[in-house]
Structure formats: structure tokens, C-alpha cells
Amino acid sequence: MAKGKEASFEEALQQLEAIVAKLESGDAKLEESIRLFEEGMRLSGICQKRLDEADRKIEVLLRKPGGVEREIEDESGILDKEG
């Protein structure tokens, strides 16, 4: 994971699973268990946030002479378009 970048959903979920397994084993020390629990709650928050957020934007790569142009289109633009 790149520094400063929030964990991806998959990374967060894997870490959360590992932490829960460690907490459930019961052999963590006091500070460690508190740290693990807080980290677990933070990760489940990230997961929840990623589940709740909606992108609603589509990046369109338009090939033009001399390269590719990027264009951001609102999803409703694509969804409303009739074919």
C-alpha cells in the first residue's frame, strides 16, 4: 500500500480478518489488544465507508490524433442516453 493512501477495500478486509482472529485467540497483551481493537474498528470503518460511497462518475478515454484525452462524464449522462 502506498504511503498516505487509504487501504483498498480488499487490504482493509484482510487486515480486519487477521486482527479479529488474533483478538479471538485471547493471548494479546493489554496495550496490544487495545491497539488491535482500535485498528480493527478503524478498518471496519474503512470497509463500511467504501461500501457506502458511490462513485457516479465515469472516466472516458477519447482517442484523438496525438494521444488520448480523458473526459469525466456524469453517470446519469450515460444512463439517460437512449440507444
7 binds another protein (CB under 8 A): no
41 binds another protein (CB under 8 A): yes
CB-based contact 50:12 (threshold 8 Å): yes
Rounded-to-integer distance, Cα 70 and Cα 79, Å? 19
| Alpha helical stretches, state H, the chain | 9-25, 30-52, 75-80
> Smallest gap, in angstroms, from Cβ of residue 66 to another protein?
13
Site of interaction with another protein (CB under 8 A):
8-10, 13, 16-17, 19-20, 23-24, 26, 28-31, 33, 37, 40-41, 44, 47-48, 50-63, 68, 70, 75, 78-79, 81, 83
